[in-house]
Homo-oligomer: A and B are copies of this chain.
């Protein structure tokens, strides 16, 4: 299989396949002698599918590196896999809570805003105040996503 076929078979774009190889997430694909094209087999495609599914569950490339090596290790303790998953769930929950707090605050402010032609606006008032006691509840200001 060429990269395009592997891409269609796995659902991972050719660009990403090359990228994953470049950063060492997958081992460099074999090359054809005549034209230097990458050559993929079913095994490679399965790995790509694994990666795609893991990405869709929000795992980072680093985490997937670990998951892949556990997957390849027939003697892995399932404890190790579970640990990675649980850690990731905790991180997701943390980020969800942050965004939930943002959304709650904004919903409250928006609910207080007439949303008409008049200029008075509690949303702007909150932003302008910078005072963290105006909104509903917001003890520790959630930092923006990027972390």
Which B residues are CB-close (under 8 A) to A77? 116-119
- In the bound complex, what is the Cα–Cα distance between A86 and B110 (angstroms)? 7
The interface bits of chain A over 67-99 (1 if a CB of B lies within 8 angstroms of the residue's CB, else 0) are 100110111111101110110110011011001
Interface residues contributed by chain A, number (CB under 8 Å): 61
A119 touches B79 (CB 8 A): no
Q: Chain A's interface: helix, strand, loop or mixed, by majority?
A: helix
Closest 8 CB pairs of A and B: A82-B115, A49-B130, A78-B121, A92-B103, A58-B102, A56-B141, A82-B113, A77-B117
Beyond the given A56-B102, A73-B119, please list 15 additional residue pairs across the A-B interface where CB-CB is below 8 A: A46-B128, A46-B130, A50-B127, A50-B128, A53-B130, A54-B127, A78-B116, A78-B117, A78-B118, A78-B120, A78-B123, A81-B121, A93-B103, A96-B100, A96-B103
